[in-house]
Structure 1
């Protein structure tokens, strides 16, 4: 039996041969977790950023935290020593990123944006990665987080559009990328009066509605009603999960997630947890804790 895995630049497939072709399984996207930890995690877990790979091999980065230069390198070379590049001109996995999605403005989700902006701008083959974000959030990110470091280079004033092909998305809207459709879902994260710090989760599906529907919460408080409604529409959920002894309230806590209906828990993978969680998610009806570097394949539903 010969097993053929994904081929970069083509449709993903796994074919099993036993003298003749017996099975071909197409995969319309992959999601790889570069990290699965909370903001204050360790290299054993890395921050919760992800790579979505379309069936043609192009990659979309979901969030770009402060340890992205390490997690990207390690993901590309898991057996290497994860030495970061010493030159802006050195080709790295960052140069292969076609697009970026940012969910909200905490550093474990945008702390690597200055690095990736300079890295791609000064590359030997410079390009502008597509940048998808909720419209107002994109403006705030530039004005309140990135402009101080990226607002100028020698001899030139710079704007966000000099580094990225900006594709702002209206609240509640969606965007298309490589035959996939991403719908933004506003999730409560940090509530502070009229200055709420929301995070925008992603509902991902094949643009022709033939594929598995997946939901990534990004950072969120525990909202059973909201996640229950979404759970009826999707096949898999990747849910923010706090495992600390004290509840922060701004992240859904493991103990609270255990109160969800069993049918919903069966769809849920947990991520964004603290190091060395002393929990047994499978025994509690979940799919499990996502591991750093774990990759999920989603085939079409015929």
Structure 2
């Protein structure tokens, strides 16, 4: 299993960072895209595949980088995590050899993705009414559920993101397990030391959402809050989803560091 960060930035980022989306590569080479944000087509275009081709200027359908993706997982419905889904849907549907990508999501989020985010643009094509299942091989999941993909076990971890008391927005992180390697990706979350400590005990490595602005928005975990975690937990944590030019000394504060755009982690 490999995890490649095709982006590491927040929603309001630059091309030096791109938004926080990831590619997970199974042992057989198949790829799962974790979140599909607004700038994902550019982030994918800069990826290098095993044959060392770079796709940033490709115009060939046969060499399009998105066609290497077998499945997609969506953590929540903010545009830096789903803003590329209409492009992905149309690109797949109208390609020369269309094959629906598997779509893994918490079941209620999957309904909302279609009803509130994608239906307006994808709901019809010439002469045909469409549904999400026309574009993707939908695999809805329970909020405390799990799924298997290409030998990797994924458990959904419900994280609080925007809590209003009226309509709460949760983001579903992932605990990934394969051949004794355990990785926890929080996705977007408020500071939840109890959840991070409980789940983090099982993990070898944690990739944690990290806000680096001078002020705290509350809906993301701020760097200063993460510094209050026990050292043994911080020593497992890589930081991502940060603002441009984070002026922090992550390693000096006990963390593994800030993930950089394009950085890949190989778990063997």
1:199 positional shift: 0.2
* Corresponding residue to 1:257 among 208, 226, 244: 226
CA distance in 2: counterparts of 1:254 and 1:148, whole angstroms: 37
Q: Which deviates further from its counterpart, 189-198 or 49-58?
A: 189-198
SS in 1 for 2:160: strand
What stretches of structure 1 of length at least 5 have no aligned partner?
A: 1-28
Aligned to 1:284: 253
1:121-270 mapped onto 2 (5 Å cutoff): 121-206=93-178, 210-270=179-239
Aligned to 1:64: 36
* Corresponding residue to 2:47 among 75, 79, 88: 75
2:89 is aligned with 1:117: yes
1:204 positional shift: 0.3
Conservation of the 8 A alpha-carbon contact between 2:105 and 2:140: yes
Distance 1:68 1:84, change over 3 A: farther
> Which stretches of structure 1, 4 residues or more, deviate above 2 A after TM superposition?
76-85
Aligned to 1:32: 4
Please provide the CA RMSD for this pair: 1.5
Matched residue count: 266
SS in 2 for 1:215: strand
Conservation of the 8 A alpha-carbon contact between 1:91 and 1:123: no
Aligned to 1:97: 69
SS in 2 for 1:76: coil
Deviations 1:232-274 (A, max 9, x none): 1110000000000010000000000000000000000000000
Distance 1:81 1:276, change over 3 A: farther
What stretches of structure 2 of length at least 5 have no aligned partner?
A: none
Conservation of the 8 A alpha-carbon contact between 1:211 and 1:298: no
Aligned to 1:45: 17
SS in 2 for 1:132: strand
SS in 1 for 2:171: strand
Conservation of the 8 A alpha-carbon contact between 1:69 and 1:84: no
Distance 1:84 1:152, change over 3 A: farther
Conservation of the 8 A alpha-carbon contact between 1:70 and 1:84: no
CA distance in 2: counterparts of 1:199 and 1:257, whole angstroms: 18
SS in 1 for 2:177: strand
1:91 positional shift: 3.6
Distance 1:81 1:180, change over 3 A: closer
CA distance in 2: counterparts of 1:53 and 1:244, whole angstroms: 32
